[in-house]
Amino acid sequence: MAPTTSLPRVSESEKLTINLGYVDLGQIDLLVAEGFYANRSDFIRTAIRNHLGTHGDALRQVVARKMLVLGLQHFSAADLTKVQAAGEKLQIRVLGLASIAPDVPAELAADTIESITVLGALHASPAVRAALAGRIT
């Protein structure tokens, strides 16, 4: 069952906290002060993208082998109701963001979602998360 195309407004990023040594942090601050980057976050995002780019072929192969959806996959109550009516169960595999609409009842999610594998972030209500706790990897 394909997810709907109408998507709720979600953040396009996830906040991370990292610890850096003082020398590394100082070097980043120097590059920012010299105008190479707008701020520390800009430097870190750029560094991560560049490093991920060096592993691009390996990432594409793993995504294909594990049959992951790359990007955003959203499930509404209507999507899950259709799955339930068809007597099917979903195995959700996402590299990016998996989103289950806030109005999806926990029972509907439990009845229709067999498993969820997310490499990235999962947005779901606390009730849905609790109902699927043993199925989320």
Quick one: 63 and 102 in the same domain? yes
Tell me whether residue 86 is in a domain: yes
Segment 11-34 shows an average pLDDT of 91
Looking at the DSSP bridge assignments, the partners of residue 69 are 94
Q: Which domain holds residue 28?
A: 22-54
Quick one: 32 and 77 in the same domain? no
Quick one: 73 and 123 in the same domain? yes
Quick one: 71 and 114 in the same domain? yes
Tell me whether residue 10 is in a domain: no
77 closest CA partner among 100, 110, 54, 45? 100
Quick one: 32 and 45 in the same domain? yes
* Number of domains present in the structure of the chain: 2
Q: Has residue 102 got a pLDDT over 80?
A: yes
Q: Has residue 89 got a pLDDT over 50?
A: yes
40-54 vs 56-65: helix axis angle to the nearest 10? Answer: 70
Segment 79-96 shows an average pLDDT of 96
Segment 20-33 shows an average pLDDT of 95
Quick one: 63 and 38 in the same domain? no
Segment 30-48 shows an average pLDDT of 96
Quick one: 86 and 131 in the same domain? yes
Whether pTM > 0.85 for this model: the answer is no
Categorize the per-residue pLDDT at 1 as very low, low, confident or very high, splitting at 50, 70 and 90.
low
Quick one: 90 and 117 in the same domain? yes
Question: Across all residues in the chain, what is the average pLDDT?
Answer: 91
The pLDDT tens digits of the residues spanning 54-86 come to 999 999 999 888 889 999 999 999 999 999 999
Tell me whether residue 6 is in a domain: no
Q: What is the pLDDT of residue 65?
A: 87
The pLDDT tens digits of the residues spanning 113-135 come to 999 999 999 999 999 999 999 99
Quick one: 62 and 124 in the same domain? yes
Quick one: 103 and 48 in the same domain? no
Distance CA(65)–CA(73), nearest Å, equals 18
Quick one: 102 and 61 in the same domain? yes
Q: What is the pLDDT of residue 10?
A: 57
